[in-house]
Structures are given as structure tokens and as C-alpha cells.
Amino acid sequence: MDLKQLETFVRVAELGSFTRAAQSLDMAQPALSRQVRALELELRETLFTRTGRGVVPTDAGLRLLEHGHAILQGVAAARADLLSRRGEPVGRVTVGLPPSLARRLTPLLIERFRRELPKAQLEIVEAFSVTIAEWLGNARMDLGLVYSPTTHPQIEASPVLEERLCLIGPAGSLPASGGVAFAELPRYPLVMPQRGQIFRKLMEAQATLSQIKLDVVWEVSSVPVILDLVRAGHGFAALTDSALHGQMASNGLAEAPIHSPHIVSTLCVVQPASRRATPLARRTAELLRQLSLRVCAVESGQ
């Protein structure tokens, strides 16, 4: 097995097509097919199954894909580390941002990258915290911002700030002052993300402790769509200030802090524990910390 074979295999698996992979790698399709076939012969495994739309990895292919991502990212990190021996951050870094912050942070992060890290490449992926943590654990991502990550031996987390969850509803639908006590939440039909998303996990954990049942009427895996549904009167949402204002869509909405108890989410910069951080990763982590504090301070009126 060599790196070229592995890169070819990973690109086919990601694109689901030998033709598209060959175009992406700027190589002839027969040559690409020979690379994959040689890998299959060496490993004595069939790595792809053909479908009407292209190809999908077999079980063996999926296992190799996980290793392939880790190996190729490790090689890229080694190359960047050696190239940066003079202290200049270079290379490529993949960053995961949660939907609650991605819209506000992405332009700021790109602006700082262009100005301060002109020789580096940045890839931004928007995903919920649980997905970002999973991808960091299997080395598909270099850094991320995650709300209240669970303890995991493959991930290192550095807290940035704490945010309280608020109840979001249509304008005029919530108390003008004092907020909403947690015990009152069963009176509010909720629009929430799928099970496992961190805000929902925090709410359901407290509901269990308080021995109450939340009324989840709709499950939607998109913060902008959740806010659209709330604005249209289809329910209420439990989000942070940054999630509300980060969508630039707070018009027509009201918010009230949830109290007794407060539900607090901790925003953290996370990265793989097993990989030595490159100068680029360290600089990007610092930018994430600075920009997160800046955005959340503006949105809270501080």
C-alpha cells in the first residue's frame, strides 16, 4: 500500500464515483481503477460495491476509509509541521462550526485567515456538536467549536465561555421580564433538534431530574428552520443568545431566560488528543477563541 493508492481510494469513496474521482485527481480513469484494484489485491478485500448511481464502500472499504482519513491527515500535518520550521503557519486546517455560530463566525474567520495566514488553507464544515466531536475523534477534522462536549479520550477540550439557554417564541408570546421557570416548560410546545444534539440533551437531562415531561412537537435539524417555525407560530425553541442572533433572523421573535435552574452550555475549542498540534492548528484555535468571545459578547450586549 502506498499513499497514492490510499488517496485514490479515499477520493473514490468520498465522491461515490470512479469518473468524478478521476476528474478530481486529474488522472485517467483506467489508471485510477488500476490503483484501486491493486489495493484490493494487496488487502485481499473488495472495497467497493457498484450501484446504479456509482459505487459505495463495502464494510471493509468503510474500515479502510476511516484509517485512510487519519493517515492522510497525519501526512499532511507532518508536511505542514516540517514546512513551518521557521515558525510560519502553513498547510491546511479543517474546522467544524456549530449552526448556532457558523453564520457569524465564518466571514470573520476567513477575513482573519486572508490577512494573517496567507499561506494557509482553511476548510469550514457546519455540523452539530455531536457530529463535530465524532469527526475529530476519527481524525476527519482538525479543530472545532463544540457545546458541552462529553469526556472522550480521543478529544481535548478547552473551555471558551458559558451561555445560558433561553426560550425563544414569537414576538409577544413570552413574559416581558423574569424569564420562564423550567417547571413551566411543559406548557410550551417545543421545536427541537434530533435526540443527541447538545441543547436537547441538556434540556432532557434537566427534565428527568425535575420529573417533568417536555412537549416536543417537531424535530428539525436546522437552527434557521427552527427559528422560521417558531416565528410562524409552530412552537418554541430552547437556544442560546448566539444561536438566535447568529442567524441574523431575530426579528419577530422574543426570548426569555430559562431559570430555576439555569441551563448552561459551555462552548469549547476541541481538537484530537492524539495528534500534536501544528503551528497552524494552534493559531487557528486561538482565532476561534478570540472570535467566539467577540461574537458572543456583541450578541449579549456586553
In tens digits, the chain (302 residues) has pLDDT values of 789 999 999 999 989 999 989 988 889 999 999 999 999 999 999 999 998 888 999 999 999 999 998 898 888 777 766 765 656 677 888 999 988 888 889 999 999 999 988 888 899 999 888 889 888 877 778 999 999 888 778 889 999 999 899 999 999 999 988 899 999 999 999 999 988 888 899 999 999 999 999 999 999 988 889 999 999 999 999 998 777 765 544 678 999 999 999 999 999 999 988 777 778 888 999 999 999 998 877 555 55
Strands 264-272 and 143-147: antiparallel
Using a 10 angstrom Cβ sphere, with 0-12 exposed, 13-18 middle and 19 or more buried, the burial of residue 30 is exposed
For residue 55, the Cα-to-chain-centroid distance in whole angstroms is 26
Residue 145 β-bridge partners: 269
Place of cell 459505487: 55
Which domains are assigned to the chain? Answer: 3-75 (1.10.10.10), 88-160+266-299 (3.40.190.10), 161-265 (3.40.190.10)
d(CA 148, CA 19): 41
Write the CA distances from 54 to 17, 48, 222, 227, 266, integer angstroms.
Answer: 5, 10, 29, 37, 42
Say whether pTM exceeds 0.95.
no
Using a 10 angstrom Cβ sphere, with 0-12 exposed, 13-18 middle and 19 or more buried, the burial of residue 22 is buried
Q: Which three cell numbers stand for residue 246?
A: 447568529
d(CA 284, CA 66): 24
Residues 6+ apart with CB under 8 A from 208: none
Size (the chain), residues: 302
